[in-house]
Structure 1
Amino acid sequence: MGKHSAGLLEKVLLRRTRAFWSRAARQAATVDLSVLRQQRTEARILRHKLDELTYHADNRLALPRIGSTSFPKPAGTDWSWRPQLWRGALPFKGLSAVESKTRLGDEATIFHDCQISELSLRQLRNTREADLAPYGLRMDVFRFDGSFLSLVLDLPQSATDGLLKRHLVRMEAIVEVEKPLEIFARLNVRHGPNTEQIVRELPLYDDKVMVEFDLAYTKLNEKRVEAIWVDLIFEGPEMNQVTLRDVTFSRNPRAEL
């Protein structure tokens, strides 16, 4: 009963508050200036609180939900993963003049060899219904005096567990570019003293792109797999904007021949 009464009282107070500010807005052109000055101060304080509420509400209620690891996977998938960069908020929203070896969370690192960095990065909140990842990454490149630019993603230890030569490793991404450029994905698998590498070019004729790395064509020592990482290599990125709305990985055994 107490909770019901409190809720009813809040609704009454809210209606009266809305009525007060609606009346104040209508009378703003003719009310005494001393009253108007006081109302303006109160309105600014109220607006700040409302903007704060709206910001947090939009962030929590927007689709998709923060921390989401959901995405379509091929039949037979035995491992899947979305990097932290696309599923949770970073400690910072954006960076400018990004230096080489800058870490973006625990799993992603930027590498380049520019003398003067004119690279900026910004994490975006995905709000489109088509987006499954909570966040995206936007990269703006202005003058580029280096020879390479890459984003390295360290796959978790779970990606190495049970990894076999008969596995296909799939990478899917949603990519937006301001103007055409080439993006390559290089899968690296370290086993003992050796590292196997497979390179695929991302087909950017569609927003959603997919590449597969077939480990059957490598000399992988299944008993000595230690680490896996992927380099996203951007060729000729100068004066371009690249947005990675989502990046996901999955693994499934290839069909026996």
Structure 2
Amino acid sequence: MGFGKQAIGRLLHRWSLRRWTRLARAAETADLDKLHQQRLMASQLMTRLSELNFVANSRLALPRVGTNAFVRPGGTLWSWRPRAWRGPLPEMGIAAVGNRASLGDHLTVFHDCDISELTLRQIRNTRTSDMAPYGLRLDVFRFDGSFLSLVLDLPAEAIDGLLKRHIIRLTLNVELEQPLEIFARLNVRHGPNTEQMVQEIRNADGEMVVEFDLAYSDINERRIEAAWLDLIFEGAEMNQITLRDVTLCRYPRAEL
């Protein structure tokens, strides 16, 4: 039935296109009364076509929902854009965000505020420079705590075959209402121990790249069980933090 409707639609479109082509070519010699009617019909049709064209151009210019397209270094073994930046979440936002509040898969907020004046919500990216369909916006008002972090639990594929000769690359696209300090901490649990590697994201504005070279870690390759990433925000009070995109990838370091 769907195929039949599509076929009929294509036939009607071709018929309409031929009709208007014929009328346009005959306009120079057409009867003026008929030409007046045709101009009115053409004007009504052009209004609807302009509306369709405007909406279509706006929607088609947006990053496509579900896309996992982003720049990867050569030799990449694993790459990932978390779901919050890839597609719509069942819950689009949280007001008065509590400690250990989760938004979608893999994403948790940690803080020690007595009274939470935090909001976290997913937004649709609309800029021409955006590669991710969605972003996350964290609004911080009064903040009476000592720490605030956004934690991403890495999927099992991230640690499958993970070795000390690998590099974990984090790419962020950040917008800040006011400058603040941001730290990225990679945590790798191996047996009873957890290796932590911290990098400061200096002058965060736009696309920022952080690399964790595991050659400088003490992980036991045979006992790796889990990994997660902390984004730590220092002095976030009265600020709006927008993460337009977050991606991670793993690739081998160059041989020395």
- TM norm structure 1: 0.79
CA contact (8 A) 2:63 2:133 kept: yes
CA contact (8 A) 2:174 2:204 kept: no
Q: 2:25 — aligned with what? A: none
Q: Distance in 2 between matches of 1:82 and 1:152?
A: 14
Q: 1:33 — aligned with what? A: none
Q: Distance in 2 between matches of 1:231 and 1:242?
A: 15
SS in 1 for 2:202: coil
Q: Distance in 2 between matches of 1:10 and 1:203?
A: 59
Aligned-pair distance for 1:129?
Answer: 1.7
Q: 1:34 — aligned with what? A: none
Q: 1:73 — aligned with what? A: 72
Is 1:210–2:186 an aligned residue pair?
Answer: no
Report % sequence identity: 61
Q: 2:160 — aligned with what? A: 161
Q: Distance in 2 between matches of 1:2 and 1:93?
A: 40
Distance 1:2 1:69, change over 3 A: closer
Aligned-pair distance for 1:5?
Answer: 5.3
Distance 1:94 1:16, change over 3 A: farther
CA contact (8 A) 1:175 1:204 kept: no
Distance 1:148 1:196, change over 3 A: same
Q: 1:102 — aligned with what? A: 101
Q: 1:63 — aligned with what? A: 62
Q: 1:194 — aligned with what? A: 193
Q: Distance in 2 between matches of 1:72 and 1:6?
A: 43
Superimposed CA distance per residue, residues 79-122 of structure 1 (whole angstroms, 9 cap, x where no aligned partner): 11111110011113332111111111111011111111100112
- TM norm structure 2: 0.79
Q: 2:145 — aligned with what? A: 146
Q: 1:126 — aligned with what? A: 125
SS in 2 for 1:99: coil
Number of residues of Structure 1 aligned to a counterpart in Structure 2:
226
CA contact (8 A) 1:203 1:210 kept: no
Consecutive unaligned residues in structure 2, runs of 5 or more = 1-6, 21-39
CA contact (8 A) 1:102 1:110 kept: yes
Consecutive unaligned residues in structure 1, runs of 5 or more = 23-49
Superimposed CA distance per residue, residues 104-153 of structure 1 (whole angstroms, 9 cap, x where no aligned partner): 11110111111111001121111212111110011110000111111000
Superimposed CA distance per residue, residues 158-214 of structure 1 (whole angstroms, 9 cap, x where no aligned partner): 001110001111101000101110010100001111110000011235411111111
Q: 2:227 — aligned with what? A: 228
Counterparts of 1:240-255 in structure 2, within 5 Å, are: 240-255=239-254
What do you get for the CA RMSD once the two structures are aligned? 2.8
Q: Distance in 1 between matches of 2:133 and 2:211?
A: 24
| Counterpart residue type for residue 158 of structure 2 | A
Distance 1:104 1:2, change over 3 A: closer
